[in-house]
């Protein structure tokens, strides 16, 4: 009986704490929004610098929040583009195309995956001495292993196709974009996590990842899951710069930072979890205002990277989130279709992010800021899976593939697909190594040109 009362008390206190944190963050946000005006979101990563001109508003006007179920939903059918983008045109939101359902077999060791596609020819790397990765699980190479959080991937079957079959904290069966981009550019084959103990001088001089799975541009997003906030990643970056100065001196360190490639990916967890999942911000902001806040936070992050010495900065946008397996399961109805509302929000954010980066690139001296369009490439892979060699695009390889993620994808309770290379998704949220390899190849071949034009 005492144990029962204690359990109820712990549960009550936990719920009270979550409610307190949510209300506290929301109250602060609401207070800041009232000072900024209805068209602006709060800017949690404040930074001095040039004031950007107001962005064109590509989505619905801020104001009373439109009900998702009222009126006609924005069409994302082929040919329609409800969000005009100054960069590459976002691809349409694909519908489900179920492929053959491979059988499952027990155990964490499926049949060996076929060798991945050959890497594209490496450029002679005279441009990038180092790679710096920031953001969420797409670029997290293991930082979450060294913090207190439930968002981890340092256990099998995660990492089963990584060199030596070792789980490293990457949310994938193998390598992720930070690794592939560094490899394709001729920097190094694997980008280590900054928090990993025992990093060598060579590890640090050629770049590390500061990213943390579960974080976002909204400061409330990492609080909910205890991930590393974007502001803290900037703190680690400044700390890293001082270490590099200690190794090679101030002048050489500044050369490495200014010529190195900084890649940033965030926003997916803000939309999928904080806004649409937990509804922590939905009652305060309509989606147009919230995506404007996200883009403003991203621009501020870029400014602080610039102030720290970075000059080549690439932001990868948000993919068609409504088409990842877990969103199909929770929001796609009985037929598990793509959730068009979330896809529209992703396009809305991408458009605003692209506009902000374009404006900043024109005003910041000696800086090149590039928007990298993942939405179109991702959508094309889902619409035309056979051309990429995929049989399954609406469920993950791990478990049922419908909802497994993190601890639910484990070697004790999860069956695995027979051929991981035929799956686009590894778990219900993250792509497979092969899908990441294809996307990274496109980034290097089609999106990084401006960095070479401005050496």
Residues marked active site are found at 137, 427, 430
142's tokens: 């293991």
Radius of gyration over alpha carbons of the chain, in Å? 21
Residue 414 in contact with residue 105, Cβ under 8 Å? no
3-state helix, strand, coil in the chain (%, to 5): 45, 10, 50
CA–CA dist 450, 440 (Å, integer): 16
Contacts of 26 (CB under 8 A, 6+ apart): 280, 281, 284
For residue 105, what are the β-bridge partners? 416
CA–CA dist 60, 163 (Å, integer): 47
The helix or strand, by DSSP H or E, that contains position 393, with its residue range, turns out to be: strand 392-396
Pairing mode of beta strands 261-265, 131-135: parallel
DSSP per-residue letters across 142-196: SGGGGSS-S----STTTTTTSGGG---S-SSSS--HHHHHHHHTTS-S-PPBTT-
- Phi, psi at residue 350, to the nearest 5°? -60, -40
- Phi, psi at residue 308, to the nearest 5°? -80, -10
- Phi, psi at residue 347, to the nearest 5°? -65, -40
Residue 266 in contact with residue 298, Cβ under 8 Å? yes
């Amino acid at each position: 009986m005492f144990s029962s009362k204690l359990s109820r008390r712990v549960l009550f206190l936990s719920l009270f704490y979550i409610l307190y944190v949510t209300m506290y963050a929301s109250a602060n946000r609401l207070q800041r929004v009232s000072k900024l005006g209805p068209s602006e979101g709060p800017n949690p990563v404040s930074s001095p610098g040039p004031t950007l001109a107001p962005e064109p508003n590509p989505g619905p006007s801020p104001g009373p929040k439109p009900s998702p179920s009222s009126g006609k939903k924005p069409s994302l059918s082929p040919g329609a583009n409800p969000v005009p983008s100054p960069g590459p045109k976002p691809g349409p939101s694909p519908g489900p195309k179920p492929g053959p359902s491979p059988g499952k077999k027990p155990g964490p060791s499926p049949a060996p995956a076929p060798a991945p596609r050959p890497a594209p020819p490496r450029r002679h790397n005279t441009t990038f001495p180092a790679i710096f990765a920031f953001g969420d699980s797409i670029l997290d190479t293991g930082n979450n292993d060294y913090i207190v959080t439930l968002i981890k991937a340092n256990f099998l079957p995660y990492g089963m196709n990584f060199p030596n079959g070792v789980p490293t904290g990457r949310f994938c069966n193998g390598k992720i974009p930070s690794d592939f981009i560094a490899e394709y550019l001729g920097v190094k084959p694997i980008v280590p996590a900054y928090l990993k103990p025992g990093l060598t001088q060579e590890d640090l001089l050629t770049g590390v990842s500061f990213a943390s799975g579960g974080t976002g541009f909204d400061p409330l997003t990492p609080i909910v899951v205890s991930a590393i906030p974007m502001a803290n990643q900037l703190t680690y970056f400044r700390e890293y710069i001082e270490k590099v100065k200690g190794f090679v001196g101030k002048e050489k360190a500044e050369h490495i930072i200014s010529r190195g490639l900084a890649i940033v990916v965030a926003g997916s967890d803000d939309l999928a979890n904080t806004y649409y999942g937990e509804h922590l911000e939905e009652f305060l902001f309509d989606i147009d205002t919230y995506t404007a806040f996200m883009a403003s936070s991203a621009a501020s992050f870029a400014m602080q990277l610039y102030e720290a010495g970075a000059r080549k900065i690439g932001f990868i946008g948000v993919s068609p989130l409504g088409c990842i397996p877990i969103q199909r399961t929770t929001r796609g109805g009985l037929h598990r279709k793509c959730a068009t509302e979330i896809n529209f929000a992703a396009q809305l954010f991408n458009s605003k992010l692209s506009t902000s980066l374009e404006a900043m690139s024109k005003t910041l001296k000696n800086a090149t800021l590039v928007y990298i369009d993942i939405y179109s490439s991702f959508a094309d892979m889902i619409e035309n899976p056979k051309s990429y060699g995929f049989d399954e695009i609406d469920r993950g390889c791990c478990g049922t593939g419908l909802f497994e993620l993190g601890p639910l994808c484990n070697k004790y309770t999860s069956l695995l697909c027979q051929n991981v290379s035929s799956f686009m998704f590894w778990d219900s949220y993250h792509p497979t190594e092969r899908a990441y390899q294809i996307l990274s190849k496109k980034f290097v071949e089609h999106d990084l040109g401006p960095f070479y034009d401005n050496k």
